[in-house]
Structure 1
Amino acid sequence: MELIENIFIPTYVVNLRKRVDRLAHIKREFAGREEFKVTYMEAVEDTIGALGLWKSLVKVIHEAKNAGDELIIFCEDDHQFTSNYSKQKLFEIIQEGYKLNAELLIGGSSGGFKTSLPVSENLLWVQSYCSNQFLVIYKRFFDIILQKMDFDPKKKVDNTISDLALSKFVIVPYLSNQKCFYYSDVTMFNQLYPENQLERFTEAEQNLGKIMKIYQMFRSKLT
């Protein structure tokens, strides 16, 4: 996959029709970023927020498969780019993912890793993760998602994806975090404690950064 100016990434943003504030926000985030071919899709609304999000993800994957996409970015409407983001960095990391046979790259997470193992300067394999606001999903993972017919509405979507994906990596430094809207349509914890949302992202990234520094230190001694 060459990095050339006319390459763009199919990007699917899900948004509930009633959340016009979030739609305005996410459109500002992608404004002027021509590396993304953005499709805004109406999210599936359900009385159980996690089930609605899962149905929205499945809807996106069906669309991506029918379009013949090799990979996509699945994006929630509270995603925001960090200062670490650049087109060059994203394309380089996506190429790394190809080489690692990745199913999933996580642009930023609020934690829940259980086990994390650095595999390169920018990627750590994780056993599990939290937060779905910016996911790079490779074609090899499409059918695995579509074949999951028994989604447990009591479980979170990120927990379900964690169980399904063997080859999943968090990008460090983060390219994405979540904008706090002081309410959540999916996660009860974020609904109850919205003010801690960015703090959780910061703490999780710092913890992964420490692991990465140790990895780089020992790697330099061995080369």
Structure 2
Amino acid sequence: MKKNKDRQLDDLSIPVYQIITDDFEERAMENFSDKPEFDVTRFFFKNKTQSFSQRMWNGMIMAIQSAGEHDDVIVVCSQKHLFTEVYNKDFLVNCIIEANTSGVNLLFGGIGSFTNVVPVTENLFWIDSVTYFDFFIIYRSIFKSILEEQFVENDDFFSKVCSITSNKLTMYPFITNIPTNSYSPKMNSSNNNLRKVQSIYWSYILE
């Protein structure tokens, strides 16, 4: 059984849709070059007459429309996404599988500031509103709802996505990072806050 599972993980291909909204950076391509578990497609939305939020939304819609018939999950990320040092394939896959058993619709690889958090497992946390996310997993269960959602001119991409469902989790430790960005302090703050919550979880639930 374990041998078969390992073989399945070795052959795993996770569809990733990277949305390019600005000048394309080589590091965006190099970031996935040594990770064969990802099948990366890039969409370019550089029309500056549209807001960043509109371009990200359009890219996400195209990603969902491009998903294969048997794709139960897809990953959407921006060109700024960088993997953290803690990333490894087994951790990501386990989080995806565990989150699915909880009936989740969205799973974030890292987040900006949030309001409320509840630990679900050692590495998965329910969160409500989120100010920022970059690398996130969309489950097929919410494809239709997103496609039917109306996006208007002044909508904020992050707020809009979060408002579609309450069934959303973030994994921790974060596997995505943006080193030079106005959202970086918020991600660092969230990282510290979740570390504290995880420590409490270890102390009172796992013991």
1:71 maps to 73
SS in 2 for 1:133: coil
Q: Take 1:131 and 1:79, find their aligned partners in 2: how far apart are those partners?
A: 12
SS in 2 for 1:132: coil
Could you tell me how far 1:44 is from its partner in structure 2?
A: 5.9
Q: Take 1:159 and 1:85, find their aligned partners in 2: how far apart are those partners?
A: 26
| Alpha-carbon displacement from aligned partner over 1:111-157 (angstroms, at most 9, x marks no partner) | 1x2111000000100011132310011111111100102x2332311
Q: Check whether the contact 1:79–1:179 (CA below 8 A) recurs between aligned residues.
A: no
Q: Residues 131-146 of structure 1: matches in 2 within 5 Å?
A: 131-146=132-147
2:82 maps to 80
1:13 maps to 18
Q: Check whether the contact 1:109–1:170 (CA below 8 A) recurs between aligned residues.
A: yes
Q: 1:49 aligns with which of 26, 49, 52?
A: 52
Q: Percent identity?
A: 25
Q: 2:184 aligns with which of 170, 193, 198?
A: 198
Alignment TM-score, normalising by the size of structure 1:
0.84
SS in 2 for 1:40: strand
Tell me whether 1:124 sits opposite 2:125 in the alignment.
Answer: yes
Could you tell me how far 1:211 is from its partner in structure 2?
A: 1.2
Tell me whether 1:93 sits opposite 2:95 in the alignment.
Answer: yes
Alignment gaps of 5+ in structure 1: 181-193
| Alpha-carbon displacement from aligned partner over 1:44-72 (angstroms, at most 9, x marks no partner) | 634322122211211111111x5542110
Alignment TM-score, normalising by the size of structure 2:
0.90
Alignment gaps of 5+ in structure 2: none
Q: Take 1:136 and 1:44, find their aligned partners in 2: how far apart are those partners?
A: 23
Name the Cα RMSD after superposition. 1.7
**Structure 1 pair 19/179, CA: closer, same or farther in 2 (3 Å)?**
farther
Q: Look up the equivalent residue of 2:92 and give its one-letter code.
A: L
Q: Look up the equivalent residue of 1:74 and give its one-letter code.
A: V
Q: Check whether the contact 2:132–2:183 (CA below 8 A) recurs between aligned residues.
A: no
